[in-house]
Amino acid sequence: MLELQNKREVLAWPNLIGRSLVSLNMVLITQFALSFVPRFFSNSSLLTQLSLSVLVMLVVVGFGGWFRRLLGIHASAPAFVFFNILFIWCFYVFIIRQAISLVMDIVFNGEVVLLIFGLCRILKSDPGLVMYAPSPSDKPIESSVAELNARDEELELSTSGLGHESNQGRRVRYCKTCKAYIKGFDHHCPAFGNCIGQKNYLLFMVLLVGFLVTETSFLACSSDYSAKYGISRRLSSEDSLSENLAKSTRMFAILQLVWQVNWHKYPEFQLIVQYQPGQGPTEVRFTNPYDKGDILQNVKEFLSSEG
């Protein structure tokens, strides 16, 4: 008989609050740093400003990571996502909302509320924790690729008698981050702080669509605001902070759309296994989601398709 194994780390409240505050500071620094792009490069093309925004985000994230390691403090990826949503929502309510119709205002606020609700749900959702009791010598984190493959095969066979399910439903994989075996394991999503498996895959896809819809709505609202007040036509470095933020948050939403539309190309969704002729797998690695070349290429493809 198999028994439940769940070793996912549960942070104490002081640690959770501390990581959330660090993430909040990172969000504020990132968003206000992005506002310098339209301020100092207002005469540049949209593609150039988007590319510079990517560069700014990479610098802020990289420097922030180095600074956190130097001080020995940690951030929270789900909190970073939540505070970005909250920042965009607050900016909408206090600045952009004045130029938006009542119907669109109700729609957008409803989308944000549902998005936050879905984010909270997936944080606590069960991805499909498997009933598995490891032996004392079972050390999945230090196992070789061959051993992990053998363990996966063994677990797939052990769960194959639970019913007629798809291959994904029978696949059981070990997540090093959660320190748990997950049935139907797809990937570990740092942004949502949870594994994505058989039981919460549908919720994950619904939430992904929710992000796309909400970001598209924000783009529409931000564009209406800019059109009403002539911000998009005014090429000046003397714009106010709110006007620069209106431009930078719009570019931030575009970058998020580009990233999420191409979600299958990024690390948490793509496991790369390299083989040598006549040998088994020699290297297992994840692709880098923040590779500047990939992001810039996706931005160019996005703008080309829009044109």
Report pLDDT digits (tens) over 85-122.
999 999 999 999 988 999 999 999 999 999 999 999 99
In a domain, 92, yes or no: yes
Q: What is the pLDDT of residue 254?
A: 93
Instruction: Report the candidate in 17, 2, 9, 1 with the shortest Cα–Cα distance to residue 180.
Output: 9
In a domain, 119, yes or no: yes
Instruction: Report the candidate in 89, 127, 52 with the shortest Cα–Cα distance to residue 214.
Output: 89
Q: What is the pLDDT of residue 32?
A: 94
- Total domain count, the chain: 1
Between residues 254 and 235, which one has the greater pLDDT?
Answer: 254
pTM over 0.85: no
Between residues 226 and 59, which one has the greater pLDDT?
Answer: 59
Q: Round to whole Å and give the CA distance between 304 and 264.
A: 20
Sign of the torsion angle spanned by Cα atoms 77, 83, 84, 85:
positive
In a domain, 243, yes or no: yes
Q: What is the pLDDT of residue 179?
A: 82
What would the pLDDT profile of 185-233 be if each residue is shown by its tens digit? 888 888 888 899 999 999 999 999 999 999 999 999 998 898 887 655 4
Q: Which domain holds residue 80?
A: 13-127+194-265
In a domain, 2, yes or no: no
In a domain, 62, yes or no: yes
Q: What is the mean pLDDT of the chain?
A: 75
- Angle subtended by helix axes 77-94 and 13-34, to nearest 10: 50
